[in-house]
Structure 1
Amino acid sequence: MRNIRMLKKAAICTSLFMFSLFANAASDGVVSVASQHDVEQTAERMLNILEQKGMTVFNQVKHSEGAAKVGIELADTQLIIFGNPKVGSPLMKCQQLVALDLPQKALIWQDEQGKVWISYNDPQYLAKRHQVAGCDPVFAKIAGALAGISKAAAN
């Protein structure tokens, strides 16, 4: 009888563990905001907003142009890499591995239907991914800033 109870508990624990793995895999941790502009205009708007907010833009990668150079047709796709050490450094102090996902990135891309999107990593996903503890206010600040910047660039 005791062995049956232990097996049931083990089965329940295994099921819960597998469910949590599936739930994490299903949640991609990406926030996407629809833009009213084409990719080039959206990227330009985002760059201007980042500059106005005092952010550092580290690079702008035009993936579709790179793909064209090797004979691959890719829908218009640009990646903007940006950040602010005043915000990112405290996160790295909480959990240094979060630096794998910093600086921030925004992907501006056109889908198969011609719709343009701004996509970025959900800060709460990064907190969970890197098991960051004690930096909730910083993540909340980043989430608000990314939402505001994306909305302003998209409208």
Structure 2
Amino acid sequence: MRLESNYPFAVTLARLRSTLEARGFRIFATIDHRGAAQSVEMVMPPTTVLIYGDPRSGTPLMLSAPDFALELPLRLLVREGEHGKTYVTYNPAASLEGKHGL
């Protein structure tokens, strides 16, 4: 699922981070693809992945179906596209239904 944000990249990223944390999710990692590209002297628009989850809800799933660990934690991609537009891309939770026997 890809949505266009009404906010610039940095604001979108900050709002998503604070909203996830306010809802009890833990941000496990932030991957700055643009920063990685710059480290090898390549140019890339702002592109960041937030890896997040809630061990209280994810752990029981993985205990029931250990292979479900391939699906967790969840991820959000925030990127700047053409004309300065910001996009948020993610896999809806419903897309995980039925995977690994759950």
TM-score, normalised via structure 1 length: 0.60
Higher relative CO (Cα under 8 Å, sequence separation at least 6) belongs to: 2
Q: Give the direction of change, closer, same or farther, for the CA distance of 1:120–1:47 in structure 2 (3 Å limit).
A: same
1:98 and 2:61 correspond: no
Indicate the structure with greater helix content: 1
Q: What CA deviation, in whole Å up to 9, does each residue of 1:84-113 have, x standing for no partner?
A: 011111221332212112111111012234
1:86 and 2:56 correspond: yes
Structure-2 residue corresponding to 1:42: 12
Structure-2 residue corresponding to 1:116: 86
Q: Moved runs in structure 1, 4+ residues, more than 4 A? A: none
Which of 26, 30, 37 pairs up with 1:60? 30
Which of 67, 71, 80 pairs up with 2:41? 71
Gaps in structure 2 of 5+ consecutive residues? none
Structure-2 residue corresponding to 1:6: none
Identical positions, percent: 28
Provide the secondary structure at the position in 1 that maps to 2:48.
Answer: strand
TM-score, normalised via structure 2 length: 0.86
Shift of 1:81: 1.0
Contact 1:98 1:126 in 2 (8 A): no
Which of 108, 127, 150 pairs up with 2:97? 127
Gaps in structure 1 of 5+ consecutive residues? 1-30, 134-155
- The code of the aligned residue for 1:48 comes to S
